[in-house]
Structures are given as C-alpha cells and as structure tokens.
Amino acid sequence: MKFTNMNPNIEHNWVVIDAEDKIFGRVVTEIATILRGKNKPYFTPNIDCGDFVVVINASKVKFSKDSKADTKKYYRHSGYFGSVKEETARKLLEENPEKLFKLATRGMLPKTKLGRAQLKKLKVYAGSEHPHTAQIKASK
C-alpha cells in the first residue's frame, strides 16, 4: 500500500510558552507535543509538521518536588575513560536553563534526523525578552 500525505502544505506557526511558576516536566511534555505536531489533526509521524516553540522565563520554572531537582541527573561523556560528567537539574537550571530544556525535550523526541530537525525549532530564553516577536505576530 502506498502512503500519500493528505496535506503537503504544512504551516509552521510560532507558539510562545511562559514557563514561570509551571511544573518543569509538564512544560517539557507540552513543548515536545507541539514540536512533533501531535496537537494537529493532520499529524504524520514521518513528516515534520510541528510548530516553532519559544519558551520564556525558563529560569523561573518549578519542579514537582523539591528533592527532584537534586536527584535528577544529566550525564555527558567525552569518549575517554573516566570522563563521565554529571550535573543535577538544579545546577543546570541556575547556570543554563536553556540547556536543561533542550536536554529534557531531546529525550522526548525521536532519535533520528527528524527529531534533530524538530529540536532546532525550540528557542529557550531565561528571561521574558526574546527576538522572535516579528515571527510570532506574522504567524497569527
């Protein structure tokens, strides 16, 4: 059976999410859903039909439990012996909230070229200012 896409003209809109005083996991789940395009009626798993996402006030996000920020760890490895580095979610949130959001969202997207392309549509800013006001107003 041959698959044909029903809607080849996919429109990519811009969505702004204010993360202030929201639970981190729930915000990241919402971001991943929008990036994949699962909130649209014409979602197709093998086509990038998601929207651009701008997250503001990323440094003011909360965790569901206070202890979760200290127990959740993100690892990285350079490839050399004994070079595994780990950082807690709290440390990443204080130093680089953009990286924390990208790492958490990356885990919820496909591990393919499509997932990497979808992750590039995520823009995260620690404060409330962002340079994408022209795209957001034009997409509405």
Q: Which of 43, 48, 44 is nearest to 115 (CA)?
A: 48
Residue 50 lies in a domain: yes
Residue 76 lies in a domain: no
Residue 109 lies in a domain: yes
In CATH, what number is assigned to the domain containing residue 102?
A: 3.90.1180.10
Residue 80 lies in a domain: no
Residue 60 lies in a domain: yes
Distance (Å, whole) CA 55 – CA 20? 10
Residue 101 lies in a domain: yes
Q: What is the pLDDT of residues 54-108, one digit of tens each?
A: 999 999 999 998 889 999 999 999 999 999 999 999 999 999 999 999 999 999 9
Range of the domain at 40: 14-64+96-139
Residue 127 lies in a domain: yes
**Three-state helix/strand/coil letters over 51-87:** CEEEEECHHHCECCCCCHHHHCEEEEECCCCCCEEEE
The average pLDDT across 38-56 equals 92
DSSP letters, 110-126, are -SSHHHHHHHTTEEE-S
